[in-house]
Chain A
């Protein structure tokens, strides 16, 4: 053990205490009238604002820190407060102190790579957040119409069916919806991992993963997965696991949005994933019922639509003009000097359906708020099509205009192939009784579906996706057995990376597939297909 000199300790203490002001301080107080189920009614606090944080003495909590609460109800003779911590030891008569802080979170570049709770307190044991931070309010009005611009830059997820058929643009809100165990979180994580590709570009995407009401172990394994794939270096995880109180789960997505807005308003790009909003709605329902707000459909309060719409409206692409951006509405004072145009915040909310019921209250609400949805299907998942995206009912209403040019061209034929295949799928069992044209379409469809399969945590860069789709659109797979497609994909991409890395990079940058390179990749695809089919024939003989 190394020795610590007492002088050193006192020097450090002196340094920290030098700024300490021991003069009298003024604050407002109230008294707890009644408390129960995490809700306290408080008398006094006559000047308090809605959404303000209040503090109860630290002797009450078991963490040694003051117990925090947030004001949700302002009534004639009392104030309704939700408590963020355990309320067991709060008693009638306890003093409640105003903090004069509207619920907010300290945000800064130092958050990247950290796991925090919705109030910005680190949960990963790495000490306080380093670097400069600023308090940003959890609730902020979304940018007005004139400060926005239409989506025109792609956000590559690295997932073949999404980037080709349901493209997402920066600033878009795309819902990921499906039953439990259909790979919703996997889609979200792949998207985060794929943003590693943007690190070296001039427009890197920062990611925020908000875990609401999940198992603590799940959050830990997600953090581990991201770290393994080098994705934690640009990701913030906001965690409100199932063991936290309902108010924490309620504000967690707002905390994620506040962090995302910091990047958005400073001219950078961010992606926020709310996993998942159905659990947040349940937490909000719990609070609302305890605060005696009238229940509506499925016992959700009347403003549950507004809860999600105001959250998701904050995803935006800010106009690429610093001057206009600076005049944007509702910019907190602390953020003003740093505001720049051209940033974006993309939101991927997640909703869990029960037995595929998309017409329940919360799913229909969020479907109508977002710019499209990615629908994940249990049957597809179980039949081995993973990611289990049902491309028939998944849509992206605005992403098309952000898609890379050559990808857009290829996706046209792809969509047609898949649509025709779905139509004819029922006849597939008649096999050779069908006419040649139908058989050809079935063959093509089968191979396209096979090509769309992709492993977990293996996002593909867009240029490689384009190469694969090019080969498919030329019908080169038609004479190859379906089972060999996975093998082909691997060999083909390996050879492309080895032989044409420069051309691939160029394709990724410009998004234009030159005819010359197109020919080259088709010819190398032919060679590999010939090899694989001949190998298959020798096996058979």
Chain B
């Protein structure tokens, strides 16, 4: 879940980068920052800690990112330090990615499968999903043996459930419906 505050920062960064025609380069920065922060638990704790001075946080962020990112992205980092919003950094990055994907017509789809999927199956699935949603699809496939068979596809809040587990659940409740309660 992304908080409203983070979404506001993300929107500002996205709109500005769009205006300046630097969306692609900022997007690369955002991915970099997100991955760095996600990968390093220390950095996360550092950013969240209220004990550490804003000035120290600013310096550390500058050392890590200054040379590697677009000036626009770096300005955001400085703004965050100034406003003491560093804890929101990862959320803001996620918010930006959300806006970027929306803008480019890409949707994120989570696929859960009971068994590993072959490449042709994945491609077939992608084609079906792209036809159905009319957008290009960015798939994250995870394996979930609990499904017992079949797969589930989650697009935003909507789930397309073709798993054996769900079928069995429905079958169970259907049988119960017709059973007399003693």
Contacts and interface: CB of A to CB of B under 8 A. Distances in A.
Interface stretch (B16-24, B33-41, B77-85, B174-182): B174-182
Interface residues of A, number: 29
B159 A28 contact: yes
A125 interface: yes
A77 interface: yes
B175 A27 contact: no
20 contacts: A16-B178, A17-B171, A20-B171, A23-B162, A24-B160, A25-B161, A25-B166, A26-B159, A26-B161, A28-B157, A28-B158, A29-B154, A30-B157, A33-B1, A43-B1, A45-B157, A64-B176, A66-B173, A76-B4, A77-B1
A127 interface: yes
A47 interface: yes
Contacts of B176: 64-65
Nearest to A43: B1
Interface of A: 13, 16-17, 20, 22-30, 33, 43-47, 58, 64-66, 76-77, 122, 125, 127-128
B180 A26 contact: no
Q: Is the interface of B mostly helix, strand, loop or mixed?
A: mixed
Contacts of B161: 24-27
Interface in B149-164: 150, 154, 156-162
Nearest to B161: A25
Interface of B: 1, 3-4, 150, 154, 156-162, 166-167, 169-171, 173-178, 180-182
B177 A128 contact: yes
Given A122-B181, A127-B180, A16 B174 contact: yes
Given A17-B171, A20-B171, A128-B177, A26 B160 contact: yes
A22 B168 CA distance: 9
B175 A77 contact: no
Contacts of B174: 16-17, 20
B172 to A, nearest CB: 8
Contact of A47 (B157, B166, B170, B180): B157
A43 B4 CA distance: 13
A24 B167 CA distance: 8
A244 to B, nearest CB: 18
B162 to A, nearest CB: 3
Contacts of A46: 156-157
A122 B181 CA distance: 9
Nearest to B166: A25
A22 B167 contact: yes
B31 to A, nearest CB: 24
A166 to B, nearest CB: 43
B167 A29 contact: no
A29 B160 CA distance: 10
Contacts of A47: 157
A76 B154 CA distance: 22
A44 B159 CA distance: 12
Nearest to B172: A58
B182 to A, nearest CB: 7
